[in-house]
Amino acid sequence: MIPGRAVSFDNRQGQILHGILHEPHAAKARGICVLLLSPGIKGRVGPHRLYLKIAARLVPLGFHVLRFDFHGLGDSEGDLPERALADVYNTVHSGRFVGDTIAAMDWMERTAGVRRFVGSGLCGGAITALLAAEADARIECLLALGLPSVLEGGPENWARVLTHQEAIGLRGSYFQKLTDPASVRRFLTGKSSYKVIWRVVRAWIGDRRAVRSDRPATHRATVDHTNPRFANAFLMMLRSRRPMLLIFAGADRLRAQFAEHFEAHNEALLRDLPPIYEVHIVTDANHVFGEPASVDDLLDASEAWLVSRFSAR
């Protein structure tokens, strides 16, 4: 267990936020704080204590690590008034917790003298770090774990953001349903998701055409559903030459969404901007990097990338 001390500070609305600060030995301190921002509606520990595992790797290397609960989550004051989970996520993707993140940096600067930060976190924590970096230049780089680039749409809108990779994965199960009387009955009575079925069929046809013509298939979503807040902030990071490491789980849809909705639709623009973001895929990992091997891969990649950017004291 990595040692840490309980801390608290106010956000700009006067709500008290509670967290844990892990501090390196003074002789090794780099003067850099990694902000591990809470994922989605989860607290400062992260799924399967992921944030503790990250802190245990980074603190001995000389990094401060601060993890805290956003307002309305965990031990912090405030509440979340939304009734639907997708609505909560969309407010997170639109910057709900940016103010809390800036308050944390203000507190670190006041009390610990740390003025340089790495924005980091899983999923909702990653998008919060990106949007906070857009608002505050003290975040010098981004270490994003499972960075979402598309807004949540709820089950009824799943087809809208279904990626090519997901559609191909669903192909076998949909073809099997052709022999299931209950599934056929659902289809004939208007209870099936016809948009999803059509998306799966289109992906299958596209791949078959590519094979017949001996050309690679192009996996570009017809409509760019990238979160506009994400796009603006990401391009700003590139223009300001702040590096980013994007770590995606191999079994997660977020990498495909980033590629098909953002990268493909902004190919020309990205070509003209500094190539300072890197993508690392943790093969076969799920969204929360739940397996020990996945955590080891994530930690190794994170450590190598951070150490290469910040020299030791």
Domain ranges (residues) in the chain:
5-153+224-309, 164-212
Q: What is the mean pLDDT of the chain?
A: 85
Assign 235 a pLDDT band (cuts: 50, 70, 90). very high
- Is residue 190 classed exposed, middle or buried when 0-12, 13-18 and 19+ CB atoms within 10 A define those classes? exposed
What mean pLDDT do residues 118-135 have? 98
Phi, psi dihedrals of residue 76, rounded to the nearest 5°: -80, 160
- The percentage of the chain sitting over the pLDDT mark of 70, rounded to a whole number, equals 77
165 Cβ neighbours under 8 A, 6+ residues apart: 219, 253, 256, 260
| Predicted pLDDT at 213 | 42
Of 113, 86, 95, give the one whose Cα is nearest residue 32: 113
Looking at the DSSP bridge assignments, the partners of residue 279 are 246
pLDDT at residue 165 greater than cutoff 70: no
How far is 245 from 263, CA to CA, in rounded Å? 15
What mean pLDDT do residues 45-60 have? 97
Assign 166 a pLDDT band (cuts: 50, 70, 90). low
User: Can you say whether the dihedral through the CA atoms of 183, 174, 148, 7 is positive or negative?
Assistant: positive
pLDDT at residue 124 greater than cutoff 50: yes
What mean pLDDT do residues 117-143 have? 98
How far is 5 from 9, CA to CA, in rounded Å? 13
Cα dist from 32 to 28, 60, 113, 283, whole Å: 11, 13, 10, 29
Q: What is the pTM of this model?
A: 0.81
Listed range (1-10, 160-169, 180-189) with the worst mean pLDDT: 160-169
pLDDT at residue 313 greater than cutoff 80: no
List pLDDT tens digits, range 264-290: 999 999 999 998 999 999 999 999 999
Assign 141 a pLDDT band (cuts: 50, 70, 90). very high
Assign 217 a pLDDT band (cuts: 50, 70, 90). very low
Read off the tokens for 251.
């079994």
The CATH label, of 3.40.50.1470, 3.40.640.10, 3.40.50.1820, 3.30.70.1560, for the domain at 5-153+224-309 is: 3.40.50.1820
pLDDT at residue 237 greater than cutoff 50: yes
| Predicted pLDDT at 190 | 61
What mean pLDDT do residues 110-126 have? 97
Phi, psi dihedrals of residue 30, rounded to the nearest 5°: -95, -10
Give the DSSP letter of residue 70: P
SS3 for 165-221 is HHHHHHHHHHHHHHHCHHHHHHHHCCCCCHHHHHHHHHHHHHHHHHHHCCCCCCCCC
How far is 16 from 8, CA to CA, in rounded Å? 7
How far is 52 from 3, CA to CA, in rounded Å? 10
50-58 vs 292-309: helix axis angle to the nearest 10?
Answer: 40
What mean pLDDT do residues 19-33 have? 96
